[in-house]
Structure 1
């Protein structure tokens, strides 16, 4: 956790609000047409985007604790001029977001470290890849085919290999097959896995959870992995070695993750594999983490 007092999440304006129409105008008419459109519609409130519910629930933690424990930062490729519509919409929706970087078309990923962000969410895959390469937890947001849950509790689900953990085991599976993977995991069961790009973010979430009684936490986490017994043991022992609590762990043995994520009520799910992400996005909001061996020879999501 970069700041012992805060969980800091950086988010792009297109992840926070529905800017599909604005983006279409940008792609069809260019930057000048986009700027003109945004200024002409400056007083029109933007509708919530795919990560809006997630952000609202994150910020609600501050109200529950009555102290500034969570901060959301806006990182936008808009100019400050065209970004007025975004801030007007933030005010209209009552979101306590006061810090922002407007980069006028340039990638904003360089400001992640400056703001001390623990997580970066964006709809721009290239910005996400740059952030991951720089050592930050980051994901490309995919819209869900179903609306977000309206429960008050924030529910976040993670894949294991190449997200919470390194991709060392995934590499063995891809290079040598399932049997070799199972043998390797059994032999290494008592050796903790190395951390993946989301280890620090999970640790920060866990820290915030410890500020509440276990049965009253506004945050609930889940590990949703294609692993099955006996490959589950190393995962359990790894989290124990990290001293990090996961509230629920689902070892699916290759079953489709979407129905289980829906049953968990995830506000967002993070996975490194595009196939899993697109399947999951039929049920819940999903973040593609373009990290590890599964993304070496595939185009951005």
Structure 2
């Protein structure tokens, strides 16, 4: 890295130092089970502003606050419906973000000026250790969008973070190495501000799973709540992404392993399952750019599991930056 400190051995001492980095108002990029996040003290306006600067992110685009335990959400919201508590008990730590009415702690620089806040407990040993150490220092939570430039492909490895953001980080910032992300696509975002939950961004926690836990049908009412990753153009590599057509000579190709590779086509990945597809998707799109490919053809997986999230990300990626 040209800037920042790359930490490959995330010992207890390293976690304590990273927490001190957050407390001092600097940035810490860290692994989660979904993708890598770029974190700052969620109560420090100047630190959070550096996230927006490093990412090139619009100032009205809200951030997700990561906390270490579901009990911590009471700091951030004064209005938590029973079904949101049920979801938290069942799926946290895990790849789920709850949108709740904000408390006074959640300032406009986190919420994008909205009266709601997004909260999540990540399921990664390093992320949880960092949050625990930060809490010992009095920290209330870590604001952390994906650790990439805005609109680009999210990073699922520390190297991808370094490639994407090293020139935008300061020498005091830290990047924690934690291996590849195991889920590979961002968290399910659920609006919990009305009588019925509403999925604002699909992820590994599916509609069926939400309804099974809450006993409430998913709402499909329109909402004006802005959340991460909700723009029509997002998750895009430099290469053009084209969906569900026959690949041509020189194209990059992503499809389940059961789909053969035509002659002259560059196979970027051959996932064995929908879960594997999600895990390798962003790495495969980054590989296309590393090979300077002009077009990537993706045959999308079917189903109502994590494939819903995969298709959501690919549709946005296909619209370009």
What's the TM-score once normalised by structure 1's chain length? 0.28
Higher helix share: 1
What's the TM-score once normalised by structure 2's chain length? 0.26
